[in-house]
Structure 1
Amino acid sequence: MLLVKPQVLPRNEKGFTLIESLIVLSIFLLIISLSSLLLRTQSIQLEKQLFFTQLKADLLYAQQHAITSQKLVSVNFVIPEKFYYIRKQNGEILIKREYSDKITVSEGSQKLFFRYHSNGNISSFGSIYFYIDGERYQMTFQLGRGRFYVIKS
C-alpha cells in the first residue's frame, strides 16, 4: 500500500483581494457592453438587407407568376398589421410575409396596392417609402416592364 503525504500550502500564499476581483470584473463587463453595442448596429444592417432581399425576390416571383399563369397577380401592403401579401386573381394567397416593427412603410406616388398584368407590366408606377432605423429608402417602380429599384434617400 502506497501512502501519499498531503501537501501543505505555504502560509504566505493568499487568494485575490476584493479590489483585484472587482477590477477584473469591471474590465470584463466593459468588454461585454462594448461588444453588444457593436452587434446592435450589425443586426440592424442585417435586418435591412434581409428585408429588401426578400421583398425583391417576392415581387419578382409575383411578376413571373403573372407571366406564366397569364393572370393578374396583386400585391398589397397592410400597414397596421406589418405584413404584405401577394394574391392570385382568384383570391388565393401566394405569399404572405410579416416584417419587423422597426420597418415603416408609406406610400409615395405609388399606392400600397398594385397588380402585375399577364405580360409582366405593373398596373401603376411610382415610389413607395420604407423607414428603417431613422433612414428612408425609396422603392421606385418604373413604367413599362414592371422593373423596380431601391435607393437610400
Structure 2
Amino acid sequence: MQVQHHKKYILRQAKGFTLLEMLIVLMIVSVLTSLTLTVFQSVVETKRTEFFLEQFERDLLYAQSYAINHNCAVYTYIQSEKHAYFIRDCNYNKLLERGYSNDIIVEVGTMQPIITYKNNGNAVKSGSFYFLIRKDRYKFVQLLGKGRFYVKKV
C-alpha cells in the first residue's frame, strides 16, 4: 500500500507542459522559421542578380581584352529568346556562350543588345539597354570612345 501511495504522490508532483503551452511554443518556432526563410530567399535572389551582372561585366571585359590581344573585332550578342549571350571573334568563332536565368528579360533602349569592340578595344556604338530582373530594372550603358560601360539600377 505504501508503494502505491508513493506512485500517486510522484505523479501529482510531476509537472509537464500543457497542450496550450506546447502549441504556443510550436507557433512561435514556426513563425520565426518562416520569417527566416523569407529573408533568406530575398538574400539569395539579390546575390543571384549581383552575380549575373558582375559576370556579364567580366565577360565584356574579356571580349575587350580579346579584341586588343588578337587585333580582331569581337561581337557580343544577347539572345533573349534563348536566355543566353554569345561572344564571337571577327571570324565568328564562338569565344563564349553563357546562359542566364529565365527571370531576366532584356529590353531594348537606345541600342540593340549587340556590343561590338574594335581591334583596339573601343566600342563601335554607344547606347543603352535594360535588364529586367524580377521587380528591378538595370540599365546597361555603353560609352563611346575607350569602350567603357557600366550597369546601374534605375
Question: In the TM superposition, what whole-angstrom CA distance separates every residue of 1:88-129 from its partner, at most 9, and x where no partner exists?
Answer: 222322111111122111121111123211011112110011
Q: Give the C-alpha shift of residue 26 in structure 1.
A: 0.8
User: Which residue of structure 1 aligns with residue 10 of structure 2?
Assistant: 10
Letter in 1 for 2:151: V
After superposition, the CA RMSD in angstroms is 1.7
Check if 1:150 corresponds to 2:151.
yes
Q: Give the C-alpha shift of residue 36 in structure 1.
A: 1.3
Letter in 1 for 2:26: L
Question: In the TM superposition, what whole-angstrom CA distance separates every residue of 1:50-72 from its partner, at most 9, and x where no partner exists?
Answer: 11110110000000000000111
Instruction: Give 3-state SS (helix, strand or coil) of 1:10's partner.
Output: helix
Check if 1:84 corresponds to 2:85.
yes
Considering fraction of residues, name the structure with more helix: 2
Q: Is the 8 A contact 1:137 1:152 kept in 2?
A: yes
Question: Would you say how many aligned residue pairs link Structure 1 and Structure 2?
Answer: 146
Check if 1:43 corresponds to 2:44.
yes
TM-score for both structures, normalised by structure 1: 0.87
Q: Give the C-alpha shift of residue 14 in structure 1.
A: 5.0
**83-92 vs 141-150, which moves further:** 83-92
C-alpha distance in 1 between matches for 2:22 and 2:56: 51
Letter in 1 for 2:140: M
Letter in 2 for 1:106: E
Percent identity between matched residues is 37
User: Which residue of structure 2 aligns with residue 27 of structure 1?
Assistant: 28
> Any stretches of 5+ residues in structure 2 without a counterpart?
1-6
Instruction: Give 3-state SS (helix, strand or coil) of 2:106's partner.
Output: strand
C-alpha distance in 1 between matches for 2:115 and 2:28: 55
**128-137 vs 64-73, which moves further:** 128-137
Q: Give the C-alpha shift of residue 21 in structure 1.
A: 1.8
User: Which residue of structure 2 aligns with residue 106 of structure 1?
Assistant: 107
> Any stretches of 5+ residues in structure 1 without a counterpart?
1-7
C-alpha distance in 1 between matches for 2:93 and 2:144: 27
Letter in 1 for 2:52: F
TM-score for both structures, normalised by structure 2: 0.87
Structure 1 consecutive aligned stretches of length 4 or more whose deviation exceeds 4 Å: none
1:110-149 map, 5 Å: 110-149=111-150
